Amino acid sequence: MKTIDQFRRKLNTEEDTRALGLEIAEALEPGDVVALIGDLGTGKTALTKYIAEGLGVTGEINSPTFTIVKEYRSGRLPLYHFDVYRLGSGEELLDIGAEEMLDGDGVCVIEWADIVADVLPDDAVAIQLEYGENEGERIAEFL
Amino acid sequence: MKDGRFLTLGIETSCDETAASVVADGRFVMSNVISSQIDIHTAYGGVVPEIASRKHLERINDVIGKALEDAEVSPKEIDLIGVTYGPGLVGALLIGVAAAKAMAYACDIPLVGVNHMHGHIAANYLEHNELEPPFMALIVSGGHTEIVNVPDYNKCEKLGGTRDDAAGEAFDKVARVIGLGYPGGPKIDKAAKEGDPDSIAFKRVYLEQGSLDFSFSGLKTQALNYLNQERQAGREINVNNVAASFQEAVVEVIADKAVMAAERYGQKRIVMAGGVASNSRLRALMEEKAGSRGIDVLKPSPVLCTDNGAMIASAAYYAYRSGVKPDLELDAVPGLEF
């Protein structure tokens, strides 16, 4: 990944989330892993949508919770969008054949990445999303 | 062939289930083996998906063997094999596809690949033997919320789908945060019967005027906000009321859009499919809303709503009959579209 400044930022609107997503997308290089950590409803899928948009992915990006991973090849780089909410450990992620994708030609964005932290590469970029003080407000922090 | 009936073996391994079934003449279920083990999920208090390729690999031969045995047929009596080749998880799909190809090759049986979503729709041909296209289909499950126009057996036009979470996924997640556990759909359905659907005013999300798409992510956040707010205020949370109000907000939008789609395309029937099609409130509301406009609603029984091999066999039968060429080179396509 190209250098991206450490940040802690308030996301007050959908537009703020989009701006962050596009910024991350621009810095992504083949083999990068973006680990998203945050509770239900903190905007992990929304941020992923905008990273995808920044990569030039066309078509709908929706939640991959049920199938764990969805693959998109219409952008600048292949995008593997994971949601490991239903998994119990990193080993289970490897069981579904994720190794090839983690170490591949594309970019992995992983929701609920804390569940599978033990098998993610050391240079994965971790971003934590939290609820802010006001309704609708989220805090995104580069860990 | 057996007793003059055309036999199709259907194989399904796209996600959690390893399943196989023998179906006669595309309509009559002779066996339906599903290796789901919901009791294991519950024992862990969470979702333990059996999506690992090796789990499918361990089971596939036994499941196919049992499907043949239950139907009391031998492999050489099978006229056609149908297998799900997408959408789904690549490792899981590959097991079914490889098993189907091996058997098709060894026994010289034609093989056709089936789109999993076409399979869900075909589940209705098994339940309702007189049903023929055209009709409108509503597929609602853990992974899908889609409205599909079906002008003919082998034609499906997707008119709308979810832009974020699937309906079943929203049920699962909200069930978890209100402490109902897994599986969320049936648990919320049950709790909602004891609750008041008007007690909490969750906003219905209809998106742009006339849109047939769905969005449930915001509703999930509304539910979370409500819970936080009540906890902070020190008020006790009435789980049944949350379940009922949340469920109503989900199913009302689904029913409205399905009926809108049927009217727009002049369809007199809506067929429901997928796990969430078992939701009792959705079923009731669909009948109410569609019924008042002279539209019939057809629903498969719960066993045919979940992922199964029978629906794949039926879809394969109609694909083959309408001229889809058998293909021994078939490959899994995880991102397969309609």
**What is this model's ipTM?**
0.84
Q: Are residues B155 and B229 in the same domain?
A: yes
CB-based contact B47 A62, cutoff 8 Å: no
Structure tokens at B182: 């897994």
Q: In a mutagenesis test of the A interface, which of B158, B164, B202 is the best target, namely the one with the most A β-carbons within 10 Å?
A: B164
Pair B204, B293 in one domain: yes
Contact: A86, B47; criterion CB under 8 Å? yes
Query: What's chain A's average pLDDT?
Result: 92
Is the minimum CB–CB distance between B175 and chain A shorter than 8 Å? no
Of the pLDDT bands very low, low, confident and very high (cuts 50, 70, 90), residue B45 is very low
Residue A9 has pLDDT above 50, yes or no: yes
CA distance B109 to chain A (A): 30
- Confidence at B50, pLDDT banded by 50, 70, 90: low
Distances (CA, A) of B128 to A14, B70, B116, B117, B121: 45, 22, 19, 18, 12
Cα A138 to its chain centre, rounded Å, is 16
Of A46, A87, A135, the CB nearest to B225: A135
Quote the tokens at residue B142: 């853990």
Domain that holds residue B104: 7-128+305-321
What is the reported pLDDT for B58?
A: 86
Min mean pLDDT across B4-8, B247-251, B298-302 is at B298-302
CA of B164: which chain A residue's CA is closest? A62
- Place domain A18-142 in its CATH homologous superfamily: P-loop containing nucleotide triphosphate hydrolases (3.40.50.300)
Question: What integer pLDDT is reported at residue B295 of this predicted model?
Answer: 98
Q: What pLDDT is attached to residue B43?
A: 38
CA distance B37 to B306: 13
Asked if B58 and B121 sit in the same domain, the reply is yes
Q: Do B274 and B144 touch, CB atoms closer than 8 A? A: yes
Q: Are B209 and B82 part of one and the same domain?
A: no
Same domain, B79 and B169: no
B288 is a domain residue: yes
- For residue B46, name the pLDDT band (cuts at 50, 70, 90): very low
Would the CB atoms of A65 and B165 count as touching at under 8 Å? yes
A11 backbone dihedrals φ, ψ, rounded to 5°: -110, 105
Residue B50 main-chain phi, psi, to 5 deg: -100, 55
**A37-51 CB burial, b ≥16 within 10 A, e <16:** bbebbbbbbbbbbbb
Res B38: pLDDT? 36
Which has the closest alpha carbon to B103: B334, B328, B332? B328
Q: Is residue B334 part of a domain?
A: no
**Whether residues B156 and B196 fall in one domain:** yes
Asked if residue B190 and residue B102 are part of one domain, the reply reads no
Give the residue from chain B lying closest to A88, CA to CA: B48
Q: Which of A40, A49, A66 to mutate to test the interface with B (most CBs of B within 10 A)?
A: A66
Domain co-membership, B244 together with B309: no
Same domain, B262 and B152: yes
Alpha helices in B233-274 (DSSP H): 239-264
Over the stretch B203-240, which tens digit does the pLDDT of each residue have? 999 999 999 999 999 999 999 999 999 999 999 999 99
B17, B93, B169: best to mutate for the A interface, most A CBs within 10 A: B169
**Cα(first)–Cα(last) distance of chain B, in Å?**
31
Average pLDDT of span A127-136: 90
Would you state the structure tokens that stand for residue B190, as one six-digit string?
């049950």
Neighbours of B316 (CB within 10 A): 32
B47 falls in which pLDDT band (50, 70, 90)?
Answer: very low
Instruction: Let me know whether B57 and B148 are in one domain.
Output: no
Residue bearing the bigger pLDDT, A135 or B5: B5
Sign of the dihedral through C-alpha B267, B273, B276, B282:
positive
- B189 close contact with A: CB closer than 8 A: no
B252-268 average pLDDT score: 98
Confidence band for B251, pLDDT divided at 50, 70 and 90: very high
Contact between A128 and A38 (Cβ < 8 Å): yes
- Minimum-distance CB partner of B143 among A41, A66, A71: A66
In a domain, B223, yes or no: yes
Mean pLDDT (chain B) is 92
CA A130 to chain centre: 14
Give the per-residue pLDDT at A66. 80
Q: Residue B276 in contact with residue B140, Cβ under 8 Å?
A: yes
Half-sphere exposure of A82 (CA within 13 A, CB side): 31
Nearest by CB to residue A86, choosing from B49, B161, B335, is B49
Q: Identify which of B141, B163, B220 has the shortest CB distance to residue A40.
A: B220
Amino acid at B87: P
pLDDT tens digits along A92-105: 898 888 888 998 89
**What are the tens digits of pLDDT across the range B7-18?**
999 999 998 889
8 Å CB contact of B87 and A135: no
Our CA-based measurement puts residue B40 at a distance from the nearest CA of chain A, in whole angstroms, of 14
B326 falls within a domain: no
Model confidence pLDDT, tens digit, residues B150-204: 999 989 999 999 999 999 999 999 999 999 988 899 999 999 999 999 999 999 9
Per-residue pLDDT for B254 more than 80? yes
Chain A CB contacts of B48 under 8 Å are 88
Residue A97 pLDDT: 82
Compute, in degrees rounded to 10, the torsion defined by CA atoms B311, B316, B319, B325.
160
Query: Which of A41, A71, A85 shows the shortest C-beta gap to B224?
Result: A41
pLDDT at B16: 83
CATH of the domain at B19: 3.30.420.40
How large is the angle between the packed helices B167-177 and B217-232, nearest 10 degrees? 10
d(Cα B133, Cα A19) in Å, to the nearest integer? 46
pLDDT over threshold 60, residue B42: no
B54–A45 C-beta distance less than 8 A: no
Contacts of B90 in chain A (CB under 8 A): 97
Average pLDDT on B312-320 reads 98
In this prediction, residue A55 carries a pLDDT of: 97
- B208 and B107 housed in the same domain: no
Q: What is the pLDDT of residues A106-118, one digit of tens each?
A: 999 999 999 999 9
Contact by Cβ (8 Å): B119, B86:
no
Give me the number of domains chain B comprises: 2
Neighboring chain B residues of A60 at a CB cutoff of 8 Å:
161, 163
Q: Is B89 on the interface with A (CB under 8 A)?
A: yes
pLDDT at B55: 82
Domain contains B198? yes
Examine the domain organization and report whether B112 and B249 are in the same domain. no
Please check whether residue A23 is in contact with residue B207, taking contact to mean a CB–CB distance below 8 angstroms. no
Is residue B27 within 8 Å of residue B336, measured between CB atoms? no
Contact between B15 and A67 using a beta-carbon 8 Å cutoff: yes
List Cα–Cα distances, A11 to A20, A36, A39, A130, B33, in angstroms: 9, 15, 15, 10, 49
> pLDDT (tens digit, 9 = 90+) per residue, B68-112?
999 999 999 999 999 999 998 888 999 999 999 999 999 999 999
B279 within a domain of the structure (yes/no): yes
CB pair distance less than 8 Å for B221 and A72: no
**Residue B164 contacts A where some CB pair is shorter than 8 Å:** yes
